[in-house]
Structure 1
Amino acid sequence: MSQTPDRPNVDHALARLDTVLTRLEASVAHRLEAEREPGDLETELAIMAEDRARLAAELDAASARLATVEATTSDVGHRLGRAIEAVEGVLARPRVAR
């Protein structure tokens, strides 16, 4: 097989073609892998949605506890007010000498 003057050009073109095909195969493999697994953005959004749901549930629970504490405080306040009135009533009575 004799070498023609164009042979180096053909070898160079084949080497370039081989490089391009290798890069194309790697790109296709990367693309297929990216389609199989959720992307970073999708993962981040899913994590944020889970955090939001968890925080919303915690806020609802805290609001419910606050409502319970407020109701209890109001009840204690009314009872304390009645107790103060009762003590004041007892103190306001004239003393009976014995």
Structure 2
Amino acid sequence: MPVDKILNAALSELRDAVNGLENAIDMRMERQREAADVENEVRRVHADRARLAQELDQAEFRANRLEEVNREVSRRLVTAMETIRAVLDR
């Protein structure tokens, strides 16, 4: 085989290898970008979850407080109605 053909074949193989390497690097970089995107999304989801958990705790606290106030108002209304009945019955 002439030297020119051997050299051309070797150069062609080298080009193919370099192209393959460049493709592998591009794919690796894309996977790393995707992984970083996923990681950022997971962080956002965790932050949202923490915020929502805090808001839920606050809403539950307010609901419990309203329930307590409602019981107190009901108790006072019953006392007022009993007082009014007692006055009317006299």
TM-score (norm 2): 0.75
Question: For residues 6-49 of structure 1, what are the alpha-carbon distances to aligned partners after superposition, in whole Å with 9 as ceiling and x for unaligned?
Answer: 61x542441232232134145336646728x9523212211111
Equivalent in 74, 78, 82 of residue 77 of structure 1: 74
Equivalent in 38, 47, 50 of residue 47 of structure 2: 50
- The gaps in structure 1 that reach 5 residues or longer are 94-98
Larger Rg: 1
Question: For residues 40-95 of structure 1, what are the alpha-carbon distances to aligned partners after superposition, in whole Å with 9 as ceiling and x for unaligned?
Answer: 321221111111101100101101111110111011011101011011111211xx
Equivalent residue pairs, number? 89
The alignment-based identity, stated in percent, is 36
Higher helix share: 2
Matched, 1:61 2:46: no
Letter in 2 for 1:70: E
* Residue 96 (structure 1) aligns with: none
- The gaps in structure 2 that reach 5 residues or longer are none
What is the alpha-carbon root mean square deviation over aligned residues?
Answer: 2.8
